[in-house]
C-alpha cells in the first residue's frame, strides 16, 4: 500500500484565457482555453494519510489554511470513495497567488499525488477532470507543452488534453512586478467580470480566436500566436473594468511594461504581452529574440526582475 505519494506539476500560461464559469461549483468554464506549460515554475506536493481531525496543508514549510485543499479532497471523496484525512506538504517554486498560476501547478500536483496515494488508474483525462474541480486552470497542467481545455457542459465533458506536444521555440519573459498575494482572487475576479455588458462579446470572440490560435501553434507562427494571445488577454482585463464592481489587476508598472513591449514590436522585434489575474506580465517572443529583448527590458526597468521560461513537461511522480 502507498503511504506517501509525491508529484510535481508545472504552471501553465493561457494563450486563450479561461475567465468565467458556466457551473461555478464544478469549474465548468464559459470558454475553451489553450495554454503553454512552463519549465521554470512548478509545485511539488506530497500527500499522506493522517490521523488528525482534519486535512492539513503545510505550504513552503508553513502551516497554512487548508480550506480550499480540504474542499478539493472532499470532492475526491465524493467521486472516488471515502478515505482518511490527508496531510499535504507542498513547495511552490512560483510566487503564491500573484497571477503566476500557482493554483494551476498546485492543484495539478495535488491531483497527481492523490491519484497515486489512492491507487487510482492514472488516466490523464480523468486526472484533468479532477484537477479542474480544484482550480480550473489546473486541468491543463497535467500536460506538457500546449494543452487545450475543452469547456464541455458538465463534469464528464469538461477536461483538458494535449493539443501539441512539441516545443515550438516560443519564449515567455516573465516580468515579476510583484510577488505579493493579490487582493482579488481569480475565482472572485472572473465571477465579477461576467457581469460586464461586453462579456458575451468577449466569449464569442474567444471561440474564434481559439481556432486561429490552434492554426498558429501548428504552423509555429509566433507572431500570430502573440497577436492573438495579446488581444485575448487585454480583452479579458477589459471585462474587469467594465463589470458592475469594476477592478483592475494592472499597476502603473504593468502598463509601462505593456507600452514598452508595444514599442519593441513596432521597432521590428517579436514582442507581445499576456497577463493573468495579477500585475505580472508575460512577454511572448521566440528563442532567437529573447536575449536581445531581455537586455532591453532589463535596461528599461532595472527595478523589475525578469526570468525567461520555455515550454515545460507534464505531471511527474517523484
Residue ranges in contact with ligand DP6 by CB under 6 A = 14, 17-19, 27, 33, 101, 103, 135-137, 186-187, 276-277
Q: Which is nearer to ligand ADP, 50 or 169 (CB)?
A: 50
Residue 100: which of ligand DP6, ligand ADP, none does it interact with, CB under 5 to 8 A by kind?
ligand ADP
Polymer length of the chain:
318
Instruction: Compute how many other C-beta atoms are within 10 angstroms of the C-beta atom of residue 303.
Output: 6
Q: Return the SS3 of 164.
A: strand
Residue 106: which of ligand DP6, ligand ADP, none does it interact with, CB under 5 to 8 A by kind?
ligand ADP
Minimum Å distance from CB 94 to ligand ADP?
7
Residue 77: which of ligand ADP, ligand DP6, none does it interact with, CB under 5 to 8 A by kind?
none
Minimum Å distance from CB 126 to ligand DP6?
18
Q: Which is nearer to ligand DP6, 89 or 182 (CB)?
A: 182
Minimum Å distance from CB 281 to ligand ADP?
13
Whole-angstrom distance, CA of residue 5 vs CA of residue 238? 42
Whole-angstrom distance, CA of residue 44 vs CA of residue 182? 22
Residue 14: which of ligand ADP, ligand DP6, none does it interact with, CB under 5 to 8 A by kind?
ligand DP6
Q: Which is nearer to ligand DP6, 68 or 93 (CB)?
A: 68
- Residues 275, 277, 280, 283, Cα dihedral to 10°: -20
Residue 17: which of ligand ADP, ligand DP6, none does it interact with, CB under 5 to 8 A by kind?
ligand DP6
CB 89 within 8 A of CB 58: yes
Whose CA is closest to 277, among 103, 160, 149? Answer: 103
> Where does the chain show beta strands of DSSP type E?
4-16, 21-23, 28-29, 33-49, 56-59, 62-64, 86-93, 146-150, 159-164, 170-176, 272-275, 281-286, 305-309, 316-317
Whole-angstrom distance, CA of residue 217 vs CA of residue 268? 21
Q: Which is nearer to ligand ADP, 27 or 289 (CB)?
A: 27
Residue 210: which of ligand ADP, ligand DP6, none does it interact with, CB under 5 to 8 A by kind?
none
* Binding residues vs ligand ADP (CB under 6 A): 43, 57, 59, 68-69, 90, 92, 96-104, 106, 185-186, 276-278
Residue 136: which of ligand DP6, ligand ADP, none does it interact with, CB under 5 to 8 A by kind?
ligand DP6
CA terminus-to-terminus distance, the chain: 17
Q: Which is nearer to ligand ADP, 108 or 145 (CB)?
A: 108
Q: Which is nearer to ligand ADP, 105 or 145 (CB)?
A: 105
Minimum Å distance from CB 270 to ligand ADP?
26
Q: Quote the Cα angle for 234-238-239, to 5°.
A: 125
Minimum Å distance from CB 11 to ligand ADP?
8
Whole-angstrom distance, CA of residue 152 vs CA of residue 137? 14
Residue 240: which of ligand ADP, ligand DP6, none does it interact with, CB under 5 to 8 A by kind?
none
Q: Which is nearer to ligand DP6, 24 or 84 (CB)?
A: 24
Q: Which residues contact 130 (CB under 8 A, 6 or more apart)?
A: 75, 76, 79, 111, 114, 115
Cell 491507487 belongs to residue: 119
Amino acid at each position: 500500500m502507498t503511504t506517501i505519494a509525491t508529484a510535481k506539476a508545472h504552471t501553465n500560461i493561457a494563450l486563450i484565457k479561461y475567465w468565467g464559469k458556466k457551473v461555478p461549483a464544478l469549474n465548468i468554464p464559459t470558454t475553451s482555453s489553450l495554454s503553454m506549460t512552463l519549465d521554470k515554475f512548478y509545485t511539488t506536493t506530497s500527500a499522506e494519510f493522517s490521523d488528525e481531525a482534519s486535512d492539513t496543508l503545510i505550504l513552503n514549510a508553513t502551516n497554512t489554511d487548508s480550506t480550499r485543499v480540504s474542499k478539493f479532497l472532499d470532492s475526491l471523496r465524493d467521486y472516488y470513495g471515502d478515505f482518511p484525512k490527508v496531510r499535504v506538504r507542498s513547495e511552490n517554486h512560483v510566487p503564491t497567488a500573484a497571477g503566476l498560476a500557482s493554483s494551476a501547478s498546485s492543484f495539478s500536483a495535488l491531483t497527481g499525488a492523490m491519484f497515486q496515494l489512492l491507487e487510482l488508474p492514472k488516466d490523464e483525462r480523468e486526472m484533468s477532470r479532477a484537477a479542474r474541480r480544484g482550480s480550473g486552470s489546473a486541468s491543463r497542467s497535467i500536460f506538457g507543452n500546449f494543452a487545450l481545455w475543452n469547456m464541455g457542459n458538465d463534469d464528464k465533458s469538461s477536461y483538458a488534453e494535449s493539443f501539441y506536444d512539441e516545443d515550438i521555440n516560443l519564449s515567455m519573459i516573465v516580468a515579476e512586478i510583484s510577488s505579493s498575494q493579490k487582493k482579488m482572487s481569480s475565482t472572485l475576479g472572473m465571477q465579477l467580470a461576467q457581469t460586464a455588458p461586453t462579456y458575451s462579446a468577449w466569449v464569442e470572440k474567444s471561440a474564434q480566436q481559439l481556432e486561429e490560435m490552434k492554426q498558429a501553434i501548428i504552423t509555429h507562427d509566433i507572431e500570430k500566436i502573440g497577436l492573438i494571445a495579446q488581444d485575448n488577454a487585454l480583452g479579458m482585463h477589459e471585462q474587469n473594468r467594465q463589470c458592475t464592481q469594476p477592478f483592475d489587476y494592472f499597476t502603473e508598472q504593468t502598463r509601462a511594461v505593456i507600452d514598452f513591449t508595444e514599442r519593441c514590436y513596432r521597432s521590428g522585434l517579436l514582442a507581445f504581452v499576456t497577463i493573468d489575474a495579477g500585475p505580472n506580465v508575460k512577454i511572448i517572443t521566440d528563442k532567437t529574440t529573447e536575449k536581445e529583448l531581455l537586455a532591453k527590458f532589463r535596461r528599461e526597468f532595472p527595478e523589475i526582475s525578469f526570468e525567461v521560461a520555455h515550454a515545460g513537461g507534464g505531471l511527474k511522480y517523484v
